[in-house]
Amino acid sequence: MSVADFIPEITAFTCNYCGYMAADTAGALHHEYPANVKLIRLPCTGKTDVQYLLDAFEQGADGVYIVACSLGNCHHVRGNERGRARVARARELLQKVGIEPERLDMFFVSGGMGATFAEIARAMTERVKALGPNPLRKTTDDGPRTT
């Protein structure tokens, strides 16, 4: 598989309110975003555990991001702030094990920001595509294979 043919696998954790609603709004308004982005819906990004983020990479995701409510507007008061702190910790751990911390990010949107959600998905896809496959992925003669 050449670099030009590489399509990154991306996992996006979304809060039940703003993040998931923004994804739904993107669909309703026909704002296309790459099909390689797989959504995982959480009750709140404050429930994002560092282990979830690291597990996504271990299971073969090339990139991971979290979509939360706008800062100061979390439906669970400060859940998105707790999520942001966990993302920062996970980025430190990724760097320590030799994985680019740029593969992990967090974004803050409101439910009506479908176009922004789609742009985030496209931007993360391009960012991760430039970084190449997750170094934890095992490869075969047929190309990348997840663990």
pLDDT reported for residue 56? 95
**Rounded Cα–Cα distance for residues 145 and 33 (Å):** 24
Helix intervals (H) in 97-136: 114-131
- CATH number among 3.40.50, 1.10.1760, 1.10.3470, 3.30.1180, domain 3-131: 3.40.50
Q: Dihedral through CA 123, CA 126, CA 129, CA 135, nearest 10?
A: -20
pLDDT of residue 78: 74
Looking at residue 140, its pLDDT comes to 45
pLDDT attached to residue 141: 44
Domain boundaries, the chain: 3-131
For the segment 116-142, what is each residue's pLDDT rounded down to a tens digit? Answer: 999 999 999 999 999 999 998 765 445
The pLDDT confidence band at residue 3, using thresholds 50, 70 and 90, is: low
Quickly list DSSP for 30-78.
T----TTEEEEEES-GGG--HHHHHHHHHTT-SEEEEEEEPTT-BTTBS
Task: Identify whether the C-beta of residue 11 lies closer than 8 Å to the C-beta of residue 125.
Answer: no
Judge contact between 126 and 140, C-beta under 8 A: no
